[in-house]
Structure 1
Amino acid sequence: MGDFNLALVIVAIIVCVLVFIFNVYLLVNYQHPDDANQAYFPKFVVVLGLSIAAISILMLPADVANRQACRHAIYNGACSLTLPMKDLWLAIYIVDAVLVFFVIPFAMFYYEGDQDKSVWKRLKSALLWVIATAVICALVLGILYGLVGKVDFTVRHLSSSTEAFPSSWGLSSLQQCIGSGARQCSAYSANPSSETTWTMRTSFPEYVVALATIVGSVLFTIFGGVGIACLPLGLVSSFIRRPKAVITRSQYIKEATELAKKARELKKTADALHQEERNGKKGRKWRKNVKAVEKELLLLEEDVKSLEEMYPQGEKAEAAWAMTVLGYLAKLVLGVLGLIVSVAWVAHIVIYLLIDPPLSPFLNEVFIKLDDVWGLLGTVAFAFFCFYLLLAVIAGAMMLGLKLVFITIHPMKWGATLMNSFLFNVGLILLCSISVIQFCATAFAYYAQATAAQEIFGHTLQSLRGIKYLYKYNVFQIAFIVLAGLTFVYYAAFVWRRKKPSGRLQLST
């Protein structure tokens, strides 16, 4: 058993190092050239945030493995030698909350500050914003914790008379308990009036995690519900609307001229908005116009990319076209696989969470059987399903950002991602990662039973005064399914069409 724990610690350390290296790789390859050799603090926050998010997802499989470490032990104190998973969970999510509500906003305020100001003034401005946020959050948390920071557990008082030890048991489905007159055990025959509510105050760290989970659950339900459908369907629709052939030079010149005209108009509008910013006219209308310009710029970049795909140039034009074709085929394959995963997720939510009692353990049983095939196979599959939800959140945020004016978009592009977009997406991932873990701990309760995560996200969170009804009546799960269904209908009705909105590049076939 001790060897098992040592191996678990070694694996955990190796995984943490690999996660850190992978996140550094992502940062280096996704960052914008303008951020090279500068903005080191935001970069550190990005790597730290992504690492915390990834580690938090991987901690649930580690929690399951940690629980199994003392399952076959022959002495009572074996479980005290395992990893302190509850303390680790609380530490991870306290760090998560600090990053989301304080560190990342500070880094974003500093990075987006007026470049004409000195470093000290930018630091001062960012610090004032963060201090104001901290004071408000502290007051809200303190008041809520003092008023409703309690958990209400429904318990049933049971009692039973003493029976003589029998010489023969003779138990059956009709005779479930010891005693000639007892047909059912006390737990079944107890009076309903014996139920009572046991109230106790939860710890402050657990309360912070619970409230952060609620905030994240709202975002996760909206973005995840939309993303679980648009992530695979977007890939498939991209294949359907792909360019079928290379266009002629005259067509290329015509399309390029139109795009150049749009680019000049956008530049003129952006210059006007920048002048308004310098004059201090940063009102609601100005922010709305800035978001509109950002979205138009993103659409213009997509049109330019589409035009380059339809008319590859240079000595390796044929190879570039072949890679384009293969890229769209890869999108089709990934889209189909993603659609299978999305359908499995939706089916599992309905079968295991919304129907009471559950019709089947479904994915829980799949993971357990995969563990029987190979020790880590079920763990890998479980981690994949959790990470898929995070990808769905990002996809949903991108889609809603393009469709809704009041949502700011922060696209992630290879070699062209500014630090503010990085920080925004990292904050979104961190905030939703708490909810993803809670969602997975609930959805895979059979697979992750008797873990520290179950204690925090199951018993405490779902019994917390004031918010327990959101979980009692499956509000988040139902909203998730509804949004996924509406997104599917939207794609079926509109997105499959090849015609793009007016003003956009019309793909030639």
Structure 2
Amino acid sequence: LKCCSGPRHTPGSPSLRRLSVAAMGFDLFLLLFAVIIVVVAVAVNVRVLIYFQQPEDSSFASSLFCKAVIVTGFTLAWLVNLLLPIDVRNSRPVQGALDMQALWMGAFITLAIFLVIVVPGVMFYHEVEGDDLVKRKRRHVICHLVLTIFFSSCGLAISYPFLSKASIPVVEYACDRWQAADEELDPIQLVSRACSVGTNSRVTITVGFQVYMIAVLCFIGWFFFVMFGGIGLGAVPMDMILAFVDRPRAIDEITYQQRRHLLGKAAQVLLQHSEELQTRDGEIAAQKGWRAHRQKRAVKADYNRFKSQVHLLEEELERLKLSKFHRGENLAVSIAKLVLGILFAMLSLSWVLHIILCVLVPQLDKGFSARMLGAVFEACETSGLYPLGVTLFATYTLYLLLCVVKGCLKFGMRIFFLFSIHPMRHGATPLNSILFNVELVLISSAAVVQFAQTAFADYARLTEADVIFAAQIKYLTFYSWFFENGIFIWALLAWFLLALTYLVVKPREGREAFRPDKKADKTLAKLTGVRFGKSGKLLAEAAPAPNSA
């Protein structure tokens, strides 16, 4: 049948040569733009490392290898998220020369290597670097890495034969009237006349091992993204606005001496708590059994609470120094925090509206259609403002990773019995905290990529990402229930609303945050045993408070 008509391009024809020249220029632009993205990502992440890393860390932490791992890990998270707009550019208006399928596979394989081998290996070695009890440190690290690789490989190898089938929905047409069709019709009219009746069906395929590995990474990453990203969507703008509200202001000498004395008492109490924790840890270190395991968990929870109290005390000390010696925080810095808080609030609000209108409502009502952010990206693509579109896309996706990091800190500060906090503080962030955040960002990146492909499905049409995530991973056995029904996205929205409600009611850590006012004095008084009068002056110093940690 004659399904299509039109002029044919013979080899060497002028039209074909024009298409080849245009495609070559297009590919050179895309390649150059990808190189620029890599250079910018490396430069920004190097600056981030210099800004946060603790300068007096160990020799291993200060080594070039550790710094390269951190910068490469953060850069990899950037590149994995920015592959989608590159894939879009490469897929239309004509197919580009970049092999995006190979790039996607290579990016996620590298992501898995960093998650399972590189970053954990650096963390293991840093933990035993100063431990004199571990004589053969390299053997210790290698043993831990071998166990990590073994269990990860076993999990993938065992589950792959059972969960690698993808049941893809299709529409089957019974075409029994081809002879009656007019051969001059275009393909759409031809199919509608010859095959007027279609039935819903499914085609089962077996995906490749690399695609299955991507599905597992995305599935695991979704739990971190929902748990911490849902908190961070509300916490990031709120914390920036609170940083403006609670900004350090100039204080007189009397107030400074009073608060300095109070912070000194709090530091003494925390030092006493640390000694008690060390004693308790040494007493139960050699014990075994159910009771000993329960005691070790209690010590760990107390240590996490102690660490959060130290973090709050350090922040209050920094604010006190700014108030006394710099006459308060610089006005430009305070205004910048307020502006960033408003911008972050707009980003969070636009994300929530996009999730509701463009993802969840169309899932309930198939006839409803909205595009919002996707329409903005497509407008940048069609109007020749591709770099602007990539910049906006990067802003929205990397903002989600920022929300994950902030949400993890918020969760650890309040639910301290589950895990220790790893705050990123200017010039005071140890290596293990930076590596923890690298690991968190990498595993969350996998889920953020799949989320972006789902949220911007129209923008990502006809791309390799669409084939990988929307046509294969979405319909895998076991995983399809979560991805087809949008379980994680519903959970993200519900958790965001719940966390936002809690943050509005209780926006600051602790019963009363360590603020430079009378409310902060209540928290410090509870910790130190110091009593205050109604005027805010010290009345008496009670005995040290019992070890609440």
**Coarse TM-score class (shorter-chain normalised):** 0.7 to 0.9
Among candidates 477, 491, 503, match of residue 465 of structure 1: 477
The code of the aligned residue for 1:206 comes to V
Q: Could you list the runs of 5+ residues in structure 1 that have no partner in the other structure?
A: 73-78
Q: 1:289 to 1:493 in 2, by over 3 A?
A: closer
Among candidates 395, 410, 422, match of residue 384 of structure 1: 395
The code of the aligned residue for 1:52 comes to L
What count of residue pairs does the alignment treat as equivalent? 479
The code of the aligned residue for 1:63 comes to D
Determine the C-alpha separation between the residues in 1 that align with 2:111 and 2:141.
20
1:408: how far off? Answer: 2.0
1:53: how far off? Answer: 0.7
Q: Secondary structure at the match of 1:35?
A: coil
Per-residue CA distance 1:405-450 (angstroms, 9 max, x = gap): 2132111111111110010000000000111111001101111111
1:229 aligns with 234
Among candidates 254, 271, 275, match of residue 271 of structure 1: 275
2:245 aligns with 240
2:24 aligns with 2
2:13 aligns with none
Q: Secondary structure at the match of 1:412?
A: coil
Larger RCO, structure (CA 8 Å, separation 6 or more): 1
Report the identity percentage.
28
CA RMSD of aligned residues (A): 2.6
TM-score (structure 2 length as normaliser): 0.81
Determine the C-alpha separation between the residues in 2 that align with 1:187 and 1:466.
34
Answer whether contact 2:400 2:448 (CA < 8 A) is retained.
yes
Q: 1:188 to 1:489 in 2, by over 3 A?
A: farther
The code of the aligned residue for 2:238 comes to L
Q: 1:384 to 1:188 in 2, by over 3 A?
A: farther
Determine the C-alpha separation between the residues in 1 that align with 2:258 and 2:427.
28
Per-residue CA distance 1:210-260 (angstroms, 9 max, x = gap): 0010000111011111111111122123323335x4222111111111111
Where in structure 2 are the equivalents of 1:4-403 lying within 5 Å?
A: 4-35=26-57, 38-39=60-61, 40=63, 41-68=65-92, 71-72=93-94, 79=95, 82-113=97-128, 115-117=130-132, 121-160=136-175, 161-164=177-180, 166=182, 177=189, 189-190=197-198, 192=199, 195-243=200-248, 245-275=249-279, 277=281, 281=285, 283-311=296-324, 313=325, 317-318=326-327, 321=328, 323=330, 325-356=331-362, 357=366, 358-371=368-381, 372=383, 374-403=385-414
1:396: how far off? Answer: 0.8
117-126 or 290-299: bigger deviation: 117-126
2:3 aligns with none
Q: Secondary structure at the match of 2:56?
A: helix
Q: 1:501 to 1:128 in 2, by over 3 A?
A: same
Answer whether contact 2:163 2:478 (CA < 8 A) is retained.
yes
Where in structure 2 are the equivalents of 1:441-480 lying within 5 Å?
A: 441-480=453-492
1:503: how far off? Answer: 8.3
Determine the C-alpha separation between the residues in 2 that align with 1:326 and 1:231.
20
365-374 or 400-409: bigger deviation: 365-374
Determine the C-alpha separation between the residues in 1 that align with 2:490 and 2:172.
33
Per-residue CA distance 1:254-297 (angstroms, 9 max, x = gap): 11111111111212222343455566728222222221211111
Determine the C-alpha separation between the residues in 2 that align with 1:274 and 1:127.
28
The code of the aligned residue for 1:444 comes to F
1:347: how far off? Answer: 0.5
1:130: how far off? Answer: 1.8
Determine the C-alpha separation between the residues in 1 that align with 2:512 and 2:353.
38
1:25: how far off? Answer: 2.5
Q: Secondary structure at the match of 2:471?
A: helix
Determine the C-alpha separation between the residues in 2 that align with 1:480 and 1:187.
42
Per-residue CA distance 1:19-44 (angstroms, 9 max, x = gap): 22332232223211122753333322
Determine the C-alpha separation between the residues in 2 that align with 1:228 and 1:49.
23
Determine the C-alpha separation between the residues in 2 that align with 1:19 and 1:94.
20
Determine the C-alpha separation between the residues in 2 that align with 1:59 and 1:234.
30
Q: Could you list the runs of 5+ residues in structure 2 that have no partner in the other structure?
A: 1-22, 287-295, 520-549
1:75 aligns with none
1:147: how far off? Answer: 1.6
2:16 aligns with none
1:208: how far off? Answer: 0.8
Determine the C-alpha separation between the residues in 1 that align with 2:320 and 2:186.
81
Q: Secondary structure at the match of 1:151?
A: strand
Determine the C-alpha separation between the residues in 2 that align with 1:237 and 1:210.
38
1:17: how far off? Answer: 2.7
Answer whether contact 2:358 2:455 (CA < 8 A) is retained.
yes
Q: Secondary structure at the match of 1:268?
A: helix
TM-score (structure 1 length as normaliser): 0.87
1:92: how far off? Answer: 0.8
2:430 aligns with 418
1:76 aligns with none
Determine the C-alpha separation between the residues in 2 that align with 1:297 and 1:224.
25
